Amino acid sequence: MSIRKQMSALEGMEVDHAKENTPSKTPAPKKTKNVESAAASEPSLMEVQNNIIQILSEKINNRADHLEIMIKNNSKEIESICESLNSIHSDVMGLKKENESLKKDNMELKKKAAELEQRMNDQEQYSRRWCLRLHGVAENSSEKVKERVKEVCRAVVPEEQRNEVTAAVDIAHRLGRLRAGEDQRGNPRPIIIRFTSRTARDLIWKHARQSPFLQTQGLRFKEDLTAADKEARSRLWPAVDQARKEGKAAYFSGARAFIDGREIRPT
């Protein structure tokens, strides 16, 4: 054996002997390698931030798409509502114009109706100026109304005018129906009298106001008024009645009322 080989063998023996005499050390923990591998596998902070940003971006994009769809749908609905409102506004304006026209027509019709009513009342007034009503004449089944009216008229006017007024009595009859079995003596029906002459009618009316005969017999003449004239008188009566109680000269002429010669109007 060569010297070099012998020296190598001796070194090897010393090494082996040293290994046998050297106490054993605690082995290194195996976790170090696992922790390092785990740490190597975990994402970095930057990656986490990027992931969060990506997730938020996707959600925001989804929400934005949904909002866009909703906005489009709402825009269509708003357009439809606007069209409907415009149509309704147009219809309302048309109805408003029509209503104004109808109001105008209605006012004109009311005016014409009032004019016609006034004309009819005037004509009725004119025809009734030949008439008077006689109240208080007792009823009986065999009465001759016209003859009884002539007797009353003769007793009211002066003697020289009696023939004139009796000849002017044209028509005389009771007003209303005679109810069967009802006693009419306490409340006889009035008599309507139509004269052929306005002069004779006015003569009876003039003397009837202060006639002693009518007062003793409980009779009275009244003007034959239209429904409109009666209504006008009913409104004026309180003022006339109060004036009479105060001793003033108050009277009616048709539907008109006068106090101390001055015409009064309903308040």
Evaluate whether residue 212 is within a structural domain: yes
Are 107 and 171 in a shared domain? no
Full strand arrangement of the beta sheet holding 250-253: 250-253, 256-259, 262-264
User: Are 212 and 133 part of one and the same domain?
Assistant: yes
**Is residue 44 in some structural domain?**
no
DSSP secondary structure code for residue 210 in this structure: T
Write down the pLDDT at residue 49: 83
- pLDDT the model gives residue 10: 47
User: What gap in Å lies between CA 91 and CA 26, rounded to an integer?
Assistant: 101
pLDDT tens digits in sequence order for the chain, 267 residues long? 444 555 555 455 554 544 445 555 555 555 555 555 555 567 777 878 888 888 888 888 888 888 888 888 888 888 889 888 888 988 898 999 889 999 999 999 999 998 988 888 888 888 888 999 999 999 887 889 999 999 999 999 999 999 999 999 999 999 988 766 555 556 889 999 999 999 999 999 999 988 999 999 999 999 998 888 888 889 999 999 999 999 999 888 878 889 988 988 876
Co-location of 116 and 164 in the same domain: no
- Token couple for 178: 């005679």
d(CA 83, CA 26): 90
Domain end point (choices 183, 202, 221):
221
32: its two tokens: 């170090």
Contact 257, 264 (CB under 8 A): yes
Q: Cα–Cα distance between 34 and 104 in angstroms, integer?
A: 101
240: Cβ contacts below 8 Å, ≥ 6 apart: 250, 251, 252, 257, 259, 264
Instruction: Return the DSSP state at 173.
Output: E
179 and 206 in a single domain? The answer is: yes
* Cα–Cα dist 70/65, whole Å: 9
Using the 3D structure, point to which of 127, 153, 186 is the last residue of a domain. 127
pLDDT at residue 181, as a whole number? 53
What separation in angstroms does the CA of 60 have from each of 50, 107, 163, 264? 15, 67, 118, 88
* pTM summary value: 0.57
pLDDT at 213: 94
H/E run at residue 191:
strand 191-195
**pLDDT of amino acid 267:** 66
CATH number at residue 200: 3.30.70.1820
Residue 254 lies in domain = 225-267
The count of structural domains within the chain is 3
- 75, part of any domain: yes
204 falls within a domain: yes
Residues 63 and 112 grouped into a single domain: yes
Residue 105 domain-assigned?
A: yes
